[in-house]
C-alpha cells in the first residue's frame, strides 16, 4: 500500500520540517540504538495494528500519518488561514491541496470498508429509510424516529465524514466535485436524499453538495451567482438518478445489517421490508405508500448556512453500534441533519422533469480543527 501511494506520501513529506530520528524510535517502539538513523521520514514509520481505531482503519501506517497532515492543511485553508503548510505551497494553493487531500480520501476508503460500514452505518441508513417512508405518506408515527413526526417539514442530521463514508460504501455511491479529489468527504459537504413526487409516483434522488475549497477559504456567499458544487448520484442497482422510492427502500434495506440496528427502529424496518414485498405498481416495482398530501415550503439551499439555521429546530443523536468499542463511537456519533421540502409536481411533468422540485433529506459533515 505504501508503495502504491508513495507519490502522495512523498508530497506530504516534502512539506514537513526535519523529523528527528528519535521520532521514528518512539513511534516504532524501538530501543535506542537499534537502528542507526540520521533522519526520520514518513516512509520509516512502521505499520501498527490497533484493532480498535476503526475510524483510522484499525492500523497506523505511513498513509495514516501523511493523511493527517493532508487533512490538517486543507482544514487550515478552508478555515481562512493565509499561511498553510508553513507557507511552503506554490502559487496555486487550492490545486496543490486537492492533490494532497487524496491521501485522506484513500484512508477513508479503507476506513469505510464493507464490515465497518455495516457495523457503524446500518443504524443511520435505517433511520434515513424510515424517515423517508414516514414522509412519503404513510401518515403514521413510525417507532425509532425519536421526535420526528409525519407533520415535520424539517429534520437535520449532522455527521462526521466517516458517517457519510459508510453510506457511500453501503449504497455504492461515487462522485466528483469541483475543487476536491474524487469521492472526497469535504468539510461542510452535504449528502442529500431527495424525495420527488409526480402525481402518485415518488422517486428518490441522491445528491452530494459542497462549497469548493476556494469558496470556503474566502467565505464566499453561496447564491445563484456563486453556487456550491453539486452532483446527482446513481445507485448502481437502481440504474438511474431518479430511483423509484419503493425500489430505493428495497435496495437500502437489503444493504444494512438488522443485527446492527437497535430497537425499536429494527422492528420498524423489518415491517417496511415485509410490506414492501406486497404489491407492484405499473412501473413493475414494489409500492406501499399513497402519495402524500402536497405541502409547500420555500427553501433556499446554502451549504452550512441554512443547515445551521435549521439545526435550531430539530436534532437527533445516534448512539448505537453493534461492534465492540461502541462507547468510543458514541463520542463521534452522528447528530441529525435532514431537511425536508415538499412540492406537488404538475401532472403534465415527465419523470425527467421531476428534478426541478423535491423533498430533501441531507447528511452534512461538520468541519474539524486546524492543525495547531
Q: Per residue in 213-258, pLDDT tens?
A: 999 999 999 999 999 999 999 999 999 999 999 999 999 999 999 9
pLDDT given at position 267: 95
Query: What is the rounded CA–CA span in Å between residue 119 and residue 318?
Result: 13
pLDDT of residue 366: 64
Q: Enter the DSSP assignment of 138.
A: I
Distance in angstroms (rounded) separating the CA atoms of residues 2 and 19: 19
With a cut of 70, say whether residue 269 has pLDDT above it.
Answer: yes
Fold of 1-112: Rossmann fold (3.40.50)
Give yes or no for a contact between 226 and 302, defined as CB atoms under 8 angstroms apart.
no
Predicted pLDDT at 107: 92
Contact 364, 157 (CB under 8 A): yes
Nearest to 363 by CA among 160, 78, 123: 160
pLDDT in tens, 272-282: 998 875 433 32
Query: Over pLDDT 70: what percentage of the chain?
Result: 74
**CA 127 to CA 25: how far, in whole Å?**
46
- Cβ atoms 149, 329 nearer than 8 A: no
Q: Give the lowest-confidence range in 31-45, 166-180, 316-330, 331-345.
A: 331-345
- What is the pLDDT averaged over residues 260-279? 85
- Who wins on pLDDT, 127 or 299? 127
Tell me: the pLDDT tens digits for 61-105? 999 999 999 999 999 999 999 999 999 998 899 999 999 999 999
Cell representation of residue 275: 410490506
* Residue 34 scores a pLDDT above 80: no
Q: Residue 325 has what pLDDT?
A: 34
Phi-psi domain of 307 (left: phi exceeds 0; alpha: psi -120 through 50; beta: other):
alpha
- How many Cα atoms within 13 Å fall on the side-chain side of residue 339? 22
CB 248 within 8 A of CB 256: no
C-alpha cell of 195? 424525495
Q: Residues 363, 369, 372, CA angle at the centre, nearest 5°?
A: 165
Collapsing DSSP to helix, strand or coil, 119 comes out as helix
Cβ 245 vs Cβ 204: under 8 Å: yes
If one compares 168 and 329, the residue with the highest pLDDT of the two is 168
Give the model's pLDDT for residue 326. Answer: 36
Look at residue 29 and tell me whether its pLDDT is greater than 50. Answer: yes
Which of 2-6, 126-130, 165-169, 233-237 is least confident?
2-6
pLDDT at res. 88:
92
- Which residues is 360 bridged to in the sheet? 194
pLDDT score at 324: 38
Q: Say what the pLDDT of residue 306 is.
A: 29
What would the CATH number be for the domain defined by 121-219+227-279?
Answer: 3.40.50.1240
- Across the range 131-160, mean pLDDT stands at 80
Relative to beta strand 48-49, strand 229-233 is unpaired
Mean pLDDT of the chain: 76
SS3 content of the chain, % helix, strand, coil (to 5): 40, 15, 50
Indicate the range of 19-28, 70-79, 151-160, 247-256 predicted with least confidence: 151-160
Does 173 score more than 90 pLDDT? yes
**Region 157-185: what's the mean pLDDT?**
94
Comma-separated ranges of CATH 3.40.50.1240 domains in the chain = 121-219+227-279
User: Which position has the higher pLDDT, 295 or 187?
Assistant: 187
The whole-number pLDDT of residue 50 equals 82
Burial class (CB in 10 A: 0-12, 13-18, 19+), 195: buried
Specify the pLDDT at position 349.
29
- What is residue 106's predicted lDDT score, i.e. its pLDDT? 93
299 vs 365, higher pLDDT: 365
- DSSP at 20: P
Residue 328's pLDDT band (boundaries 50, 70, 90)?
A: very low
Cell of 99: 492533490
| Alpha helix segments (H runs only) across the chain | 6-13, 21-27, 62-78, 93-111, 114-133, 161-171, 213-218, 245-255, 265-276, 305-310, 326-331
Amino acid at each position: 500500500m505504501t508503495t502504491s501511494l508513495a507519490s502522495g506520501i512523498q508530497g506530504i513529506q516534502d512539506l514537513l520540517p526535519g523529523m528527528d530520528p528519535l521520532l521514528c524510535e518512539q513511534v516504532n517502539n524501538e530501543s535506542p540504538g537499534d537502528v542507526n538513523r540520521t533522519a526520520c521520514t514518513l516512509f520509516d514509520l512502521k505499520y501498527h495494528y490497533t484493532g480498535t481505531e476503526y475510524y483510522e482503519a484499525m492500523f497506523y501506517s505511513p498513509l495514516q500519518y501523511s493523511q493527517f497532515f493532508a487533512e490538517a492543511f486543507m482544514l487550515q485553508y478552508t478555515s481562512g488561514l493565509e499561511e498553510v503548510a508553513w507557507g511552503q505551497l506554490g502559487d496555486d494553493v487550492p490545486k496543490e491541496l486537492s492533490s494532497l487531500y487524496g491521501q485522506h480520501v484513500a484512508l477513508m476508503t479503507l476506513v469505510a470498508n464493507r464490515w465497518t460500514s455495516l457495523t457503524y452505518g446500518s443504524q443511520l441508513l435505517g433511520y434515513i429509510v424510515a424517515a423517508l417512508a414516514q414522509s412519503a405518506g404513510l401518515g403514521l408515527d413510525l417507532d425509532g424516529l425519536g421526535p420526528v413526526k409525519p407533520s415535520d417539514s424539517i429534520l437535520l442530521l449532522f455527521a462526521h465524514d466517516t458517517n457519510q463514508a459508510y453510506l457511500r460504501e453501503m449504497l455504492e455511491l461515487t462522485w466528483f466535485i469541483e475543487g476536491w479529489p474524487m469521492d472526497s468527504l469535504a468539510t461542510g459537504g452535504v449528502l442529500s436524499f431527495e424525495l420527488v413526487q409526480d402525481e402518485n409516483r415518488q422517486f428518490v434522488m441522491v445528491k452530494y453538495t459542497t462549497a469548493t475549497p476556494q469558496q470556503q477559504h474566502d467565505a464566499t456567499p453561496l447564491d445563484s451567482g456563486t453556487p456550491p458544487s453539486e452532483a446527482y448520484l446513481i445507485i448502481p442497482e437502481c440504474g438511474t438518478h431518479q430511483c423509484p422510492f419503493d425500489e430505493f427502500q428495497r435496495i437500502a434495506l437489503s444493504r444494512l445489517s438488522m443485527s446492527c440496528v437497535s430497537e425499536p427502529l429494527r422492528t420498524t424496518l423489518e415491517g417496511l421490508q415485509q410490506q414492501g414485498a406486497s404489491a407492484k405498481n405499473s412501473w413493475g416495482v414494489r409500492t406501499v405508500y399513497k402519495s402524500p398530501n402536497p405541502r409547500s415550503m420555500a427553501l433556499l439551499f446554502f451549504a452550512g448556512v441554512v443547515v445551521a439555521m435549521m439545526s435550531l429546530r430539530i436534532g437527533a443523536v445516534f448512539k448505537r453500534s453493534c461492534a465492540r468499542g461502541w462507547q468510543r463511537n458514541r463520542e463521534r456519533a452522528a447528530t441529525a441533519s435532514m431537511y425536508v421540502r415538499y412540492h406537488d409536481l404538475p401532472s403534465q411533468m415527465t419523470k425527467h422533469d421531476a428534478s426541478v422540485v423535491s423533498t430533501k433529506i441531507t447528511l452534512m459533515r461538520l468541519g474539524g480543527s486546524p492543525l495547531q
